């Protein structure tokens, strides 16, 4: 905007200067040409008449001029005599010490131009090849001939060209000074808008998705009657509304987290009690009807499932609250080996493949939580793919200037893939690819992948998904060799 305003100011000034310069040059040219015309009217036809009759005149007639009858004409005065369309005489008054008239050699075009000069008592402009541009006046002679008197336009042109040069230099310097001064003036005038833009940039860089957000100081407000002042005021009011909304949202999230944590904590005891009583009843030595036994087994199984869900909710609540995790060296290669071994035992009908780096991959973090990440990813691949699906677990390190050294863990399968409508929210809580399986033995509450994302983020890493029919890949990236880590 500053560049456009400055450029617009300079362009307007340039147009104004050009208009003034053109008007000045045009006016000066007209004024000087008028002066030349007036001289022509004053001189009349005395000089061309003297060319017609070359006999010496008395000394008193020309005040001591013994070499031709120039009638005291100024240097450069041109005279010509025409009889019909033929030029009989053509000369010019010399300059300097030369006292005799100088004959002028005329071309055919010059003669035609002289013959075309109308005898109307007005001055006209012609160009004589040997002399340049002249202002000429044609009058009738005594012998029926035409006498033409001319004065050179070179002084007029020199004055006009000098004005053009001076005007160009002055206007050029004025434009340069105005451009520099205008740039500083525009920058100074738009300082409040620059502060608004800087504040908006700082706000755009804040993590507004969740958590408590502290907005930067408001943009300084200038004169509210100006456009910039109104923009700054409206922007500050908008920031106030945003801050109020973020504060209310954060308070609501805190209440929800507190509720989830308290509810999960309070549910652990009754759920464990129900499960314990069910298992105790199953151990009773007296005969129990088969239906009762089946009911007790279901109570125990569902109690165990509910206990796992409560533990998951409590873990998510703790991670949301920013509870720090352990920061110890963890052999990620060893965790992968153990997790794949457990997955083979739980899913023998799948084909499990390992691709490990030659050297052990070590990260800094919480071994138990990282083990949970691996278990959830492998369980997700096992539960949501058909029998004989190939699951490949890969672990390697990579380096980049932006991330440094990172551990890259991938879990890929050749199953049916994750539906496209589910992929955007696959790491959100209570998201299930197949809701019909939620109540079955293999179903879940949709918390597994959300726990993966929360634990990985708490370790300073990231997790992503790429899926299409026949190929699904979960990629976990964690800082390796002690770089990064959880906050």
Per 3-state DSSP, the chain is made up of helix, strand and coil in percentages (nearest 5) of 50, 20, 30
Q: How far apart are CA 413 and CA 333, in angstroms?
A: 20
Residue 113's nearest CA partner among 133, 141, 93 is: 133
Residue 36's nearest CA partner among 131, 160, 165, 124 is: 124
Task: Give backbone dihedrals phi and psi of 372, rounded to 5 degrees, phi first.
Answer: -65, -35
Query: Which two structure tokens, joined as six digits, stand for 84?
Result: 């019909």
Element (H, E) at 152: strand 146-152
Q: What is the pLDDT along the chain (487 residues), one digit of tens a residue?
A: 667 777 888 888 889 888 998 999 999 999 999 999 898 888 888 888 887 665 444 444 444 343 344 556 788 889 888 888 888 888 888 876 555 678 888 899 988 999 999 988 899 999 988 888 999 999 988 878 899 999 999 999 899 999 999 988 998 898 889 888 888 887 777 777 777 777 777 777 776 666 666 677 776 666 677 777 777 777 777 877 777 877 777 777 677 667 666 666 667 678 778 878 778 777 877 787 888 888 888 888 888 877 777 777 777 777 776 677 888 899 999 999 999 999 999 889 999 999 988 888 899 988 888 998 999 999 989 988 999 999 999 999 888 777 788 999 999 999 898 888 888 888 887 776 654 444 444 455 677 888 888 889 888 899 999 988 889 999 999 998 644 343 3
End-to-end CA distance of the chain: 41
Q: pTM above the 0.75 mark?
A: no
Element (H, E) at 464: strand 462-468
Cα atoms in the Cβ-side hemisphere of radius 13 Å centred on 131: 30
């Amino acid at each position: 905007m500053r560049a456009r305003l400055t450029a617009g100011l300079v362009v307007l000034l340039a147009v104004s200067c050009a208009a003034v310069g053109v008007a000045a040059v045009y006016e000066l040219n007209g004024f000087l040409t008028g002066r030349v015309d007036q001289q022509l009217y004053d001189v009349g036809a005395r000089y061309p008449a003297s060319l017609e009759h070359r006999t010496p005149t008395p000394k008193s007639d020309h005040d001591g001029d013994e070499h031709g009858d120039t009638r005291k004409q100024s240097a450069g005065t041109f005279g010509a005599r025409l009889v019909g369309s033929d030029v009989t005489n053509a000369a010019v008054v010399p300059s300097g010490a030369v006292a005799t008239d100088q004959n002028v050699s005329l071309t055919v075009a010059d003669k035609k131009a002289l013959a075309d000069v109308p005898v109307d008592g007005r001055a006209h402009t012609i160009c004589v090849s040997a002399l340049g541009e002249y202002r000429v006046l044609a009058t009738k002679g005594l012998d029926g001939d035409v006498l033409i008197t001319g004065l050179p336009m070179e002084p007029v042109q020199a004055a006009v060209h000098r004005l053009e040069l001076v005007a160009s230099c002055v206007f050029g310097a004025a434009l340069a000074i105005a451009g520099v001064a205008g740039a500083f003036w525009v920058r100074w005038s738009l300082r409040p808008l620059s502060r608004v833009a800087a504040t908006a940039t700082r706000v755009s860089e804040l993590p507004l998705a969740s958590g408590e957000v502290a907005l930067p100081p408001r943009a300084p407000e200038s004169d509210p009657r100006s456009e910039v002042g109104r923009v700054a005021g409206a922007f500050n009011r908008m920031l106030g509304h945003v801050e109020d909304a973020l504060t209310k949202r954060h308070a609501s999230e805190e209440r929800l987290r507190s509720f989830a944590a308290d509810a999960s904590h309070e549910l652990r005891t009754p759920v464990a009690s129900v499960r314990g009583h069910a298992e105790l009843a199953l151990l009773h030595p007296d005969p129990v009807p088969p239906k009762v036994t089946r009911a007790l087994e279901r109570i125990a199984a569902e109690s165990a499932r509910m206990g796992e869900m409560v533990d998951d909710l409590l873990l998510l609540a703790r991670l949301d609250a920013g509870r720090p995790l352990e920061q110890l060296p963890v052999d990620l290669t060893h965790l992968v080996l153990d997790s794949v071994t457990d997955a083979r035992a739980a899913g023998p009908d799948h084909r499990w493949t390992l691709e490990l780096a030659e050297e052990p991959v070590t990260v800094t973090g919480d071994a138990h939580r990282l083990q949970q990440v691996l278990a959830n990813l492998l369980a997700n691949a096992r539960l949501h793919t058909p029998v004989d699906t190939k699951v490949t677990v890969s672990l390697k390190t990579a380096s980049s200037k932006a991330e440094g050294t990172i551990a890259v863990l991938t879990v890929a399968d050749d199953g049916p893939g994750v539906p496209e409508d589910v992929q955007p929210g696959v790491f959100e809580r209570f998201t299930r690819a197949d809701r019909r399986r939620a109540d079955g033995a293999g179903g879940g509450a949709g918390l597994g992948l959300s726990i993966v994302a929360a634990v990985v983020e708490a370790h300073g890493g990231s997790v992503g998904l790429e899926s299409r029919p026949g190929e699904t890949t979960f990629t976990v990236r964690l800082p390796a060799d002690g770089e990064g880590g959880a906050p």
